[in-house]
Amino acid sequence: MQQTNHTFSRVAVSWLMLLGLVFGFQPGTLAISTGGTKSKGSKAKASAPSKKSSASKSSTSTRSGTRGKSAPARPTGRSTKAPAKTAPAKSKSASASSPRSSKSKTLPTSSRAGKKAVASKSTVSRKNSRAARIAARREAERRAAAARLARIRAVDNGLLASTQNQIESDDLSGENLHIRQLALEALGDNPGTVVVMDANSGRVLSMVNQAWAVSRPFKPCSTIKLLTSLAALREGIADPDTPLAFGRTQFTMTQALARSNNEYFQDLGEQIGLDRMLAYAREAGFGQPTEVNVPGESNGYLPTSANNLRRIFSHGDGFGITAVQLAAFTAAIANGGTVYKPQVLRTQDDLKNFKPEVASTISIPEPVRAKLIEGMLAAVDHGTARRSNAANLAVAGKTGSCDCYCAQGTKLGLFTSFINPVDPSLVISVITTGSRQRGSLASIVAGNIYNGLAETGRLTAAPRSAPLRVGRDAKGNLMLTNQPK
C-alpha cells in the first residue's frame, strides 16, 4: 500500500509540473502529502527552495498579471509539516571554552610555560637551599675538626715543651753520656721518658726526663699482661700451650702476648681474681717506692675496686706505675726473679763502693720464665713490637697502648724490654704520651737505642735466622733456639 502511495505521488507531481508550465502555476506552492514517510532528501527540497524556483516565481507572477489571478491550490485534506529548524552547530573552540563542556580548562601555551618556569625556579630554589645547608654543615664540621686539631696540637706542643724543660733540668751526674745521647736522639720530639738499667744489678745507666721517670705514674696499658701471665702460670690456671678460642681465632699464651690479645688475658684474669692479682702486683714492686736515689719518687697506685674487672688484667685499669718501677719488674723477668733497687752512681765513690741491693724476689720458675720470654720474643719478631727492628738482637719486649687521662685526646705508648734472654744485660723501658703515641712507636725508640749500641760494639747480637724461642740444651740449661718445638 505504501509503495502504491509513493507511485501515485510521483505521478501527481509530474502532472502538476506539466500543468504549471502550461498555465503558469508554481509547483513550489503545492504541497501534496502522500501519507507516507518522506525521506530526508525530500524534506530538504521542500524546506529550502532554490534560487531557480524564486526566479520561476517572479516569472509566473508576471504572467499571472497579464492573464489573471492564479487558481488556489487544491486542498488535499492532509496537513503538511513545516520544515524543522536546524540549530547552528557550535564550533569546537566554542564548546571547549564553555565552562559546561568540561570541568578542566585548557590553559594557553604561554600560561603553561609560565607555570613550568615557576615550578623550575622552585625546584632550583629547593636544591640551592639543600646545597646551602649541606655546605653550612660541612663548614661547621670542618671548623670543629680544625678547632679539635688545634687543641690537640696545643696539648702536644705543651707536652713536648714540658718534656724538653724537664730533660734540660736532669741531673747528668752518673749518666752514661753515650747511652743518654742515643736515647735523646731516639726519643726525638716524642714527649716521654726513657730508663736504661742493668738487668743484673739495678744500676741505672741513663734516665731521660727523670721527673717523669720517678714522679709520674702512668697507666701500664698492655704491659700489665706480663703480670697477668705470670699470675696465671704461677696459679696453674692456664696451660700456655693450649690455645683458647675467641670467635674464629684462637691463641696460645705466646701468641696472645705477641699479638696483645685482650680477650685472652681478660678470661685468665676472671679466674685469677682481683685479690690474687694485687698480691702479685705488690710482689713485683707496684704501688710502693723503688727507693731509687732520685728525689720526688712516687709510690704509684693499685686498683681499689673491681670496676671494669676484666680490663684490669688486659689494660691495667686502676694501676699507676712509674717508668722506673716498670724497668725494675722487667729486669726481674730477665734475671729470673730478683727485683733490684735502682741506683744512679753519681760519683767515683759510688762506682767504687757499688753493691747491688735486692728489694724483693718474685718466684718465677724456669718454665714460667721461659714462656714469658717466648711471648716477648715473638712480640718483637712478628707481633706488636716488630717495628722496633730489634729482633736480630734477640730483644724480648712487650708493648702497651691506651688512652691517657692526663689530657684530652692524648694516648700512651709503652714498651718494656731486655736484650738476650740467655745472658741478659740491659733493660730499656720507654713511656711516651701525645695524640699520635702507640706502643709500636715506643718500641721504635727502644729499638734505635739497642741498634745504636750494637753499631758501636757495646752489645753483641745473638746470631739467628728464624724466630727465636726459649729451649733447653742437652744439659738442661736455658737456651735460645730457632728450631721448631
Structure confidence by residue, pLDDT tens digits, 117-158: 777 777 778 778 888 889 999 989 988 888 878 887 888 888
Cell of 235: 696459679
Q: What is the pLDDT of residue 352?
A: 94
The residue among 298 and 101 whose pLDDT is bigger is: 298
Q: What is the pLDDT of residue 153?
A: 84
CA torsion 361-363-368-371 (nearest 10°) is -20
The residue among 265 and 41 whose pLDDT is bigger is: 265
CA distance 112 to 48: 47
What are residue 484's DSSP bridge partners?
none
Q: How many CB atoms lie within 10 A of CB 250?
A: 14
Which phi-psi region, left, alpha or beta, contains residue 34 (left: φ > 0; alpha: ψ -120 to 50)?
alpha
Over residues 296-314, the mean pLDDT reads 94
Domain 149-481 classification at class level = alpha beta
The average confidence (pLDDT) of the chain is 81
Q: What is the pLDDT of residue 375?
A: 95
At position 91, the amino acid (one-letter code) is S
- The per-residue pLDDT for range 195-228, each reduced to its tens digit, is 999 999 999 999 999 999 999 999 999 999 999 9
- The per-residue pLDDT for range 422-447, each reduced to its tens digit, is 889 999 999 999 988 999 999 999 99
CA distance 84 to 375: 119
Percent of the chain with pLDDT over 70: 71
Cell of 207: 734516665
* Chain position carrying cell 753515650: 178
Q: How many CB atoms lie within 10 A of CB 431?
A: 32
- CA proximity to 206, closest of 223, 185, 227: 185
CA distance 476 to 148: 58
CA distance 310 to 307: 9
CA torsion 75-79-80-86 (nearest 10°) is 150
Q: What does the domain layout of the chain look like in residue ranges?
A: 1-64, 149-481
Which of 36-40, 108-112, 247-251 reaches the highest mean pLDDT? 247-251
Give the Cα-Cα-Cα angle 391, 379, 186 (nearest 5 degrees): 60
- The per-residue pLDDT for range 380-406, each reduced to its tens digit, is 999 999 999 999 999 999 999 999 877
At position 203, the amino acid (one-letter code) is R
